[in-house]
């Protein structure tokens, strides 16, 4: 049911934004931003369900919660950068959007380095034994 809500809101915002674009172009941008924030709010509620499932899986696997925190940060950075980048693209600032995406990717790479090093340590230990 959430999917239908998202589709209806998304299509409605696009139709209204197209209508406003011919009358007041700045209102079209504001409407797009507000619509995006509403859709992001719906997505966050879905993300909370995913986080609950991930925590359950981590409980079964007895893995350090440090990795779960890193995973949550990565998901947050990805959604935030994607949302910000799309707003910039809609406003016609694709070069800024590209910079936001690049910084997001670099941030994810930096944050994920402890996981990569732990994986390499595990592979090294496996090969040495």
Same-domain status, 5 and 39: yes
Residue 77 or 20, more confident: 77
Confidence label for 44 from pLDDT (cuts 50, 70 and 90) = confident
Mean pLDDT of 63-77: 85
SS3 129: coil
Same-domain status, 57 and 83: no
Last residue of one domain, picked from the residues 47, 62, 77: 62
Last residue of one domain, picked from the residues 18, 39, 62: 62
CA distance between the termini of the chain: 51
Q: Which residues contact 26 (CB under 8 A, 6 or more apart)?
A: none
Confidence label for 100 from pLDDT (cuts 50, 70 and 90) = very high
pLDDT at res. 107: 96
Question: Can you give the residue range of the structural domain that contains 33?
Answer: 1-62
Last residue of one domain, picked from the residues 38, 62, 86: 62
Same-domain status, 68 and 128: yes
Same-domain status, 71 and 49: no
Q: How far apart (Å, rounded) are the C-alpha atoms in residues 94 and 127?
A: 46
pLDDT at res. 108: 96
SS3 101: helix
* Number of compact structural domains in the chain: 2
Q: How far apart (Å, rounded) are the C-alpha atoms in residues 35 and 18?
A: 13
């Amino acid at each position: 049911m959430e999917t239908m809500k998202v589709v209806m809101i998304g299509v409605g915002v696009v139709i209204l934004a197209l209508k406003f674009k011919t009358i007041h172009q700045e209102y079209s941008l504001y409407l797009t931003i507000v619509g995006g924030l509403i859709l992001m709010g719906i997505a966050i509620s879905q993300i909370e369900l995913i986080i609950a499932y991930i925590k359950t899986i981590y409980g079964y696997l007895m893995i350090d919660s440090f990795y779960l925190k890193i995973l949550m940060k990565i998901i947050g950075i990805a959604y935030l950068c994607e949302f910000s980048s799309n707003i910039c693209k809609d406003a016609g600032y694709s070069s800024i959007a590209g910079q936001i995406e690049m910084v997001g990717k670099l941030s994810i790479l930096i944050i994920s380095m402890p996981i990569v090093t732990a994986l390499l340590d595990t592979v090294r230990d496996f090969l040495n034994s």
